[in-house]
């Protein structure tokens, strides 16, 4: 089922039924599998940009240590972590690999049999990003921390990109539509509610296929569990037009010119530990299972190597498809074909509005501090992380796109967090009432906080 911009195929309307016309289909550009996987990726062996307790190693070291291997099982690729060393001086050994080839648009089909489990201290990700962050964009396809059981799909761009979730699976929750990361924003994120698309639940069903379509109209992510993978994918003729609702769909249109915000992205797999998200004191402290194991993420990761035996990726293949033209008669040939677009109908402005109610999210996993989400993108220069001993508030301001401007809204978060993005166009008043359904409210005129030097709103606690 398609949820992209409507196209007018004028040439097809004028052509006779038996006249040849240009058609488009997804053609395989490159396949990464056991035969070429590690030779197609660069190994990062420098410091972790997210300040994780990890030692990324080069290919030779990883191979010697048994952290990588190809051809196991049904011909899959393995990427694991050190699960034997106690108190490693430089952090626990792991790998972070980046594709040598970059891509602009396309259909990315990742068949993954296993991902790092829902383990305290672990922060895995399968993602894409460009050379000039945030101007070239970032797509976080699989990402999470600690005992998280549900995936969150996130985009990061330069300022000026607001996307809707039109066409997304109804059960997926929109946290924010503003993808701009110019001031340590957390980007635009859609959080899923399926316990089989991430971590332990994903591994219990032997994984599945994550399909990511990047076009001028949208960036959409589907997840197909093992055993329910569409035949067109397994046959090498993927046809997103025939698939159901995406797990997460970010629609461009008037709110965001995707072509100007995303370009030349590389594919990345990595597994880090602790750092600015998994090890953030508030995130770690909000997880009862993890705090029961140790007072800190670093202490736990350092002293319990055997617990990370299942913190590995097992990838069957990653295939990249690009749209290409072919000649054929209407109604004949490959079913993945599309008529040539000759004009585009703009998306109505109403489709880019994000209802404020959709931004209030209740989730079983800790709310991610905006600054932490920003640094979760592994850039060489991460935004500063707020002091962990700052006062934890009950309320925080959150930006809500309405019409053509930004306003501030107070929302209740399940896990207290004082760091939220700076609305780019308007500074909210300090006199903002909390939601009406909250029984205890701050006194009129209570100072809920202000913006710090990094452009992050610091919400202060209040006394009823």
Whole-angstrom distance, CA of residue 354 vs CA of residue 352: 6
Structure tokens at 116: 């790092």
Token match 């994000």: residue?
354
User: Distance between CA 412 and CA 427 in Å, rounded?
Assistant: 20
- HSE (CB half, 13 Å, CA atoms) of 211? 24
55, 138, 175, 398: the active-site residue:
138
Sign for the pseudo-dihedral over CA of 50, 52, 55, 56: negative
Token pair for 440: 């205890």
Grouping H, G, I as helix, E, B as strand and the rest as coil, residue 70 is strand
**Exposure class string for 357-367: b at 16+ Cβ within 10 A, else e:** ebbbbebebbb
Active site residue 431: no
CA dist., res. 84 & res. 303, Å (int)? 10
Q: Locate 458 and state its tokens.
A: 């610091």
Q: What are phi and psi of 327, to 5 degrees?
A: -105, 135
Structure tokens at 397: 């301001």
Residue carrying structure tokens 């670093």: 298
- For residue 258, the number of C-alpha atoms closer than 13 Å in the C-beta half-sphere is 23
> Residue 463 corresponds to which tokens in the numbers above?
């006394």
CB-count exposure of residue 102 (10 Å: 0-12, 13-18, 19+) = middle
Nearest to 251 by CA among 192, 314, 168: 168
Q: Does residue 143 carry a catalytic annotation?
A: yes
Residue 65 tokens, joined: 């240590």
- Catalytic one among 55, 143, 175, 398? 143
Beta partners for residue 92, in sequence order:
54
Evaluate whether 375 touches 384 at the Cβ level (below 8 Å): no
Q: Which residues does the annotation mark as catalytic?
A: 138, 143
């Amino acid at each position: 089922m398609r949820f992209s911009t409507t196209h007018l195929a004028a040439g097809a309307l004028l052509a006779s039924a038996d006249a040849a016309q240009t058609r488009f289909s997804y053609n395989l550009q490159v396949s990464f599998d056991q035969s070429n996987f590690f030779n197609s990726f660069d190994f990062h062996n420098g410091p972790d940009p997210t300040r994780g307790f990890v030692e990324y190693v080069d290919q030779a070291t990883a191979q010697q240590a048994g952290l990588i291997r190809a051809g196991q099982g049904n011909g899959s690729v393995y990427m694991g972590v050190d699960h034997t060393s106690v108190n490693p001086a430089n952090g626990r050994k792991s790998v972070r690999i980046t594709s040598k080839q970059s891509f602009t648009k396309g259909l990315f089909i990742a068949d993954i049999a296993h991902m790092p489990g829902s383990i305290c201290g672990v922060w895995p990700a399968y993602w894409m990003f460009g050379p000039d962050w945030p101007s070239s964009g970032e797509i976080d396809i699989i990402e999470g921390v600690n005992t998280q059981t549900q995936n969150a799909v996130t985009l990061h761009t330069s300022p000026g990109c607001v996307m809707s979730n039109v066409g997304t699976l109804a059960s997926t929750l929109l946290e924010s539509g503003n993808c701009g990361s110019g001031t340590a924003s957390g980007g635009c994120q859609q959080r899923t509610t399926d316990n089989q698309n991430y971590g332990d639940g994903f591994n219990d069903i032997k994984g599945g296929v994550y399909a990511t379509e990047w076009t001028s109209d949208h960036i959409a992510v589907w997840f197909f569990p093992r055993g329910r993978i569409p035949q067109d994918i397994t046959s090498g003729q993927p046809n997103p037009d025939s698939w159901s609702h995406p797990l997460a769909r970010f629609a461009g249109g008037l709110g965001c010119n995707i072509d100007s915000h995303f370009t030349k992205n590389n594919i990345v797999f990595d597994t880090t530990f602790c750092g600015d998200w998994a090890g953030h004191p508030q995130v770690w402290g909000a997880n009862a299972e993890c705090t029961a194991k140790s007072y800190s993420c670093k202490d736990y990761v350092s002293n319990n190597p055997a617990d990370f035996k299942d913190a590995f990726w097992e990838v069957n293949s990653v295939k990249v498809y690009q749209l290409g033209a072919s000649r054929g008669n209407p109604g004949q040939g490959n079913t993945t074909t599309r008529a040539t677009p000759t004009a585009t109908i703009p998306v109505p402005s109403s489709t880019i509005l994000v209802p404020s109610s959709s931004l209030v999210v209740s989730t079983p996993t800790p709310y991610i501090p905006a600054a932490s989400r920003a640094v979760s993108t592994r850039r060489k220069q991460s935004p500063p992380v707020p002091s962990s001993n700052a006062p934890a508030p009950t309320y925080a301001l959150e930006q809500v796109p309405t019409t053509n401007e930004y306003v501030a809204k107070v929302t209740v978060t399940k896990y207290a967090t004082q760091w939220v993005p700076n609305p780019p166009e308007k500074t909210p008043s300090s006199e903002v009432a909390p939601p009406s359904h909250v029984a205890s409210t701050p006194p009129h005129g209570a100072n809920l906080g202000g913006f710090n030097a990094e452009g992050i709103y610091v919400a202060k606690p209040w006394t009823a």
